[in-house]
């Protein structure tokens, strides 16, 4: 296994741990746990980021807003912020990204594309109903070019010449971009370390329905779909079962 593949394993594993911790945060919050699907939404992105300890910008219309407001206003219990150790994942992510950047200078262009395919590319292809027509960034910049290629474009990747964009080499920036990767799931891991997120997502880049994309992606990835499970049955028992299954999923992942 290459150094880059090992780092992708680590990043994949860390995001699964964050997804598990997010489910646990919902479960320990009385205002959310009996109808948990409400929190499996991009509307809770900033709540998740503030739970994880990132400092969020204040909006002009709320200049005195405290950082904790983001999770408090969405119904999370204080124990979700203070009793779950979010810092360990942030520190592990920082180390994994540092190692990825350090070990992949010669392959920066493809390594960056692989990381963006992992997050948020997989989540978008798996869940977005309007994929592939949902790209929010133009193809003139490296990240937007990756999004275009994942959606069927025949353009080439933008050459990075050994220098990674800040959205990968700055851990909080990487975590803070598209946090719906965590809030909406799914838990995912490659069935084999040789599987490329970039290559596999390109296979589904023009498939217009997410059931069709999911069928293809399940050939190469193991998936635990939090969004679908709680959409189908929105109650505390389903949440508790998911947490148990997710813990097994996370603990059986290839370790860093």
pLDDT, tens only, 226-255: 999 999 999 999 999 999 999 999 998 654
With respect to residue 61, please indicate whether it lies within any of the assigned structural domains: no
**Where does the pLDDT of residue 63 fall: very low under 50, low under 70, confident under 90, or very high at 90 and above?**
low
> Which residue carries 């959606």 as its tokens?
151
Please check whether residue 187 is in contact with residue 19, taking contact to mean a CB–CB distance below 8 angstroms: yes
Structural domain including 178 reads 3-55+68-251
Query: Residue 216 contacts by C-beta under 8 Å, 6 or more apart in sequence?
Result: 200, 203, 204, 207
With b meaning 16 or more CB within 10 Å and e meaning fewer, what string describes 115-133? bbbbbbbbbbbbbbeebbe
Which residues are registered as beta bridge partners of 190?
A: 221
**Per-residue pLDDT tens digits for 211-229:** 899 999 999 999 999 999 9
| Mean pLDDT of the region 98-124 | 94
For residue 256, tell me if it sits in a domain.
no
Element of type H or E holding 222:
strand 221-224
In-domain check, residue 25? yes
User: Total domain count for the chain?
Assistant: 1
pLDDT of residue 256: 43
Token pair belonging to 143:
């990240």
With respect to residue 73, please indicate whether it lies within any of the assigned structural domains: yes
Domain assignment of residue 60, yes or no: no
For the chain, the straight-line distance linking the first and the last C-alpha, in angstroms and rounded, comes to 12
The predicted-structure confidence for 151-173, as pLDDT tens digits, reads as follows: 989 999 999 999 999 999 899 99
Task: Please give the pLDDT value at position 58.
Answer: 63
d(CA 79, CA 90) in angstroms, rounded, equals 18
- Regarding pTM above 0.85, the answer is yes
């Amino acid at each position: 296994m290459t150094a880059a593949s090992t780092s992708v394993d680590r990043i994949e594993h860390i995001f699964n741990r964050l997804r598990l911790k997010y489910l646990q945060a919902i479960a320990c919050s009385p205002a959310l746990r009996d109808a948990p699907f409400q929190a499996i939404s991009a509307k809770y992105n900033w709540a998740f980021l503030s739970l994880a300890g990132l400092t969020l910008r204040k909006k002009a219309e709320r200049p005195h807003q405290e950082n904790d407001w983001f999770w408090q206003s969405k119904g999370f219990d204080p124990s979700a912020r203070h009793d779950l150790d979010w810092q360990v994942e942030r520190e592990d992510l920082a180390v994994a990204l540092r190692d990825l950047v350090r070990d992949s200078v010669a392959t920066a262009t493809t390594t960056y594309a692989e990381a963006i395919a992992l997050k948020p590319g997989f989540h978008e292809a798996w869940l977005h109903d309007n994929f592939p027509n949902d790209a929010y960034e133009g193809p003139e910049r490296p990240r937007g070019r990756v999004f275009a290629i994942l959606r069927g474009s025949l353009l080439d990747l933008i050459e990075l010449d050994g220098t990674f964009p800040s959205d990968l080499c700055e851990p909080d920036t990487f975590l803070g971009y598209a946090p719906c990767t965590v809030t909406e799931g799914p838990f995912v891991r490659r069935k084999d370390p040789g599987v490329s997120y970039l290559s596999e997502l390109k296979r589904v880049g023009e498939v217009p329905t997410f059931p069709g994309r999911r069928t293809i992606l399940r050939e190469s990835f193991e998936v635990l779909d939090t969004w679908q499970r709680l959409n189908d049955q929105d109650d505390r028992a389903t949440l508790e079962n998911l947490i148990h299954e997710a813990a097994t999923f996370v603990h059986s992942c290839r370790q860093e």
